[in-house]
């Protein structure tokens, strides 16, 4: 199992709007083959968050069946889904991603 983690740092003045957009966005991601579940966590401490003290941080962790499913998502679906967020919020948020593997 792969964990695909997306960390978002959101300007505090758009947090409610971003949170409302995030839930249907996650539902769209979960439609990708091999994506099983997701959880939303609040970032309490993070080096990136410290650099943006006017932001609120979220960490979305997707459970994915394997690397090939993640690769397919990243190649074919992620660009459009990411563009939707950028088109809506511009530079009012940043995102960085990590891929982790369960041992």
Computed on alpha carbons and rounded to an integer, the radius of gyration of the chain in Å comes to 13
What would the pLDDT profile of 30-82 be if each residue is shown by its tens digit? Answer: 999 999 999 999 999 888 888 888 899 999 999 999 999 999 999 999 999 99
Measured N-to-C along each axis, helices 78-89 and 67-76 cross at an angle, to the nearest 10 degrees, of 50
| Domain boundaries, given as residue ranges, for the chain | 2-101
Residue among 78, 63, 60 at smallest CA distance from 2 = 63
Amino acid 96: pLDDT: 96
Q: How confident is the model at residue 102 (pLDDT cuts 50, 70, 90)?
A: confident
pTM: 0.93
Domain 2-101, what fold?
Answer: Alpha-Beta Plaits (3.30.70)
Question: Which residues, 6 or more positions from 17, have their beta carbon under 8 angstroms from its beta carbon?
Answer: 89
Residue among 87, 78, 97 at smallest CA distance from 21 = 87
Amino acid 51: pLDDT: 85
């Amino acid at each position: 199992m792969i964990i695909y983690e997306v960390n978002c740092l959101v300007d505090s003045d758009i947090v409610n709007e971003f949170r409302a957009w995030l839930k249907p966005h996650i539902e769209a991601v979960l439609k990708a083959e091999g994506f099983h579940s997701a959880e939303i966590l609040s970032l309490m401490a993070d080096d990136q968050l410290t650099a943006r003290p006017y932001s609120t941080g979220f960490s979305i962790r997707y459970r994915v069946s394997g690397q090939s499913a993640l690769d397919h998502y990243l190649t074919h679906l992620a660009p459009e889904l990411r563009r939707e967020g950028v088109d809506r919020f511009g530079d009012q948020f940043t995102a960085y991603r990590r891929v982790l593997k369960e041992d």
